[in-house]
Structure 1
Amino acid sequence: MLLVVVLVLLVGWLHSSGKWPFEPEAGPPPVFSTSSPGLGHPVVAVESGTALALLDTLDVKGKVPRNNYQRSDFGEAWLDADANGCDTRNDILRRDLAAVTFAAGSLCLVASGNLAEPYTGEHLEFKRGKETSGAIQIDHVVALGNAWQTGAAGLTPVQRQSLANDPLNLLAVDGPANQEKSASDAASWLPSSKKFRCHYVTRQISVKAAYRLWVTPAEKAAMKNVLGRCPQQAALTSGYRR
């Protein structure tokens, strides 16, 4: 009986002192700096901090209607946003594939390569062609439809083009997995490869912070659940060179 009384008193003290229930320590708050306006720049630059701390800086509210969303609101697909002479799609293929080869006479157009696919954990081969290119697609980690509903509708056209082409928001992935994900957020879709989920939600949080987007209550809860397994996962910076 005495042991029960002691346990009750201990739990009461932990709760009143803010030490119960236990939550992972997010670490120091992230550091931001203002980015230069223009294509190829995030709205703000995330300098340091954990993904968990960065998540707590995002606004939390519901989605706006999507009935007026169009892909063209984010500009022409696969621009040369970083002015390196190659379009964004081929930039990401070149970054994410191994054993890359190029089309004859080109240093940009990726012809083939191997992918350690992040969403499924499988190893895939890429071969350019009408019937084969779709097997590996470039995913917007924060889907453009979701971005539109969580703040991008209020960005300038140039900022939306930057978001759509930012390497931070892009991954070469399995085509069917990308189609399955569609415009889902973390509350309704996560990669089947559980070991990639911490990195996946960290990218989403980092993109949303860089472009001043918000999260829904369910989305934030799902992200916190994933990051509970990796509370010290570092936030990511924009993929554009500075």
Structure 2
Amino acid sequence: MLLPATAHAAPATDLTGRIPGQSVTTPVRDALARLPVVDEERTGYERSKFKHWIDADKDGCNTRAEVLKEEAVIAPEQGPRCTLSGGEGYSPYDDRYFDGPRGLYIDHLVPLAEACDSGASAWSPAEREAHANDLGDDRALIAVSAVSAASNRSKAARDPTTWLPPAAGYRCQYVTDWIADKIRWRLSIEPAEEAAVSENLSRCPNVPVTVTLAR
């Protein structure tokens, strides 16, 4: 039976009533406009409340190793207990290639402390663990080389108000992915953060963004 047209009237970015696993697609500027704008509440973030790295599928490789394998330009060799060696990776933050997985950092695109201040402080331990080990969206976790680790350390828990990747050519992708990750986890955005992201997007194509809701 055909549904009446009014059944499809809700905007693609209206997340009300949508359930985990559903996908939404919308131009990135519209997606930004739908994020709830809320003054951040400093919550006393504790890293231990976001358990990582875990081996969710029990294949012997934890989240860190899974990201290294997935993002490698040339796949590393995998030894016993998921020991990785060789291969080649790429750090988009500063547009550098690097050899092998040793000494790599895995960065949360939206830092855990930022997520905590944007709504995750109210989540269950299971939800925080799922966010900290999110392999369901390849925008969530990024490998950063030891050579370029300074980029990751300088970022720390900062949002786009005070930090953007050194590689200018990656910044449109970065703020687009930032919005997608916040929508995926139904996080809020504070006014200054919204203004900074919007200002950066003004120089970027209004590309469509597809997000699968995690919660």
TM normalised by structure 2 equals 0.82
Aligned to 2:172: 198
Following TM superposition, by how much is the alpha carbon of 1:31 offset from its aligned partner in structure 2, in angstroms? 6.3
- Quote the Cα distance in structure 1 between the aligned partners of 2:201 and 2:57: 31
Aligned to 2:34: 57
1:148 aligns with 2:116: yes
Following TM superposition, by how much is the alpha carbon of 1:72 offset from its aligned partner in structure 2, in angstroms? 1.5
Q: Aligned to 1:34, what secondary structure does the other structure show?
A: coil
Answer yes or no: is the 8 Å Cα contact 1:81–1:162 preserved in 2.
no
Following TM superposition, by how much is the alpha carbon of 1:216 offset from its aligned partner in structure 2, in angstroms? 1.0
Which letter does structure 1 place at the counterpart of 2:183?
A
Which letter does structure 1 place at the counterpart of 2:113?
G
Distance change >3 Å, CA 215–CA 85, structure 1 → 2: same
Cα deviation 1:79-123 (Å, max 9, x = unaligned): 1235555211011101111222224345x4322321222000122
Cα deviation 1:197-242 (Å, max 9, x = unaligned): 11111221111111111111111111111222224223243598xx
Coordinate RMSD, CA, aligned: 2.2
Distance change >3 Å, CA 210–CA 83, structure 1 → 2: farther
Gaps of 5+ in 2: 1-10
Q: Aligned to 1:223, what secondary structure does the other structure show?
A: helix
Which letter does structure 2 place at the counterpart of 1:50?
P
Answer yes or no: is the 8 Å Cα contact 1:198–1:233 preserved in 2.
no
1:96 aligns with 2:71: yes
- Quote the Cα distance in structure 1 between the aligned partners of 2:212 and 2:116: 19
Which letter does structure 1 place at the counterpart of 2:206?
Q
- Quote the Cα distance in structure 2 between the aligned partners of 1:31 and 1:86: 36
Q: Aligned to 1:212, what secondary structure does the other structure show?
A: coil
Aligned to 1:5: none
- Quote the Cα distance in structure 2 between the aligned partners of 1:148 and 1:50: 26
Residue-pair matches, total: 196
- Quote the Cα distance in structure 1 between the aligned partners of 2:178 and 2:63: 19
Which letter does structure 1 place at the counterpart of 2:62?
D
Aligned to 2:7: none
Following TM superposition, by how much is the alpha carbon of 1:125 offset from its aligned partner in structure 2, in angstroms? 1.8
Which one has a bigger Cα radius of gyration? 1
Counterparts of 1:115-154 in structure 2, within 5 Å, are 115-128=89-102, 133=103, 136-154=104-122
- Quote the Cα distance in structure 1 between the aligned partners of 2:213 and 2:38: 27
2:184 maps to which of 207, 210, 235:
210
- Quote the Cα distance in structure 2 between the aligned partners of 1:154 and 1:206: 20
Q: Aligned to 2:69, what secondary structure does the other structure show?
A: helix
Following TM superposition, by how much is the alpha carbon of 1:162 offset from its aligned partner in structure 2, in angstroms? 1.1
Answer yes or no: is the 8 Å Cα contact 2:14–2:34 preserved in 1.
no
- Quote the Cα distance in structure 1 between the aligned partners of 2:72 and 2:108: 17
Which letter does structure 2 place at the counterpart of 1:185?
D
- Quote the Cα distance in structure 1 between the aligned partners of 2:210 and 2:72: 20
- Quote the Cα distance in structure 2 between the aligned partners of 1:229 and 1:215: 20
- Quote the Cα distance in structure 2 between the aligned partners of 1:222 and 1:57: 16
- Quote the Cα distance in structure 2 between the aligned partners of 1:150 and 1:235: 21
- Quote the Cα distance in structure 2 between the aligned partners of 1:83 and 1:48: 32
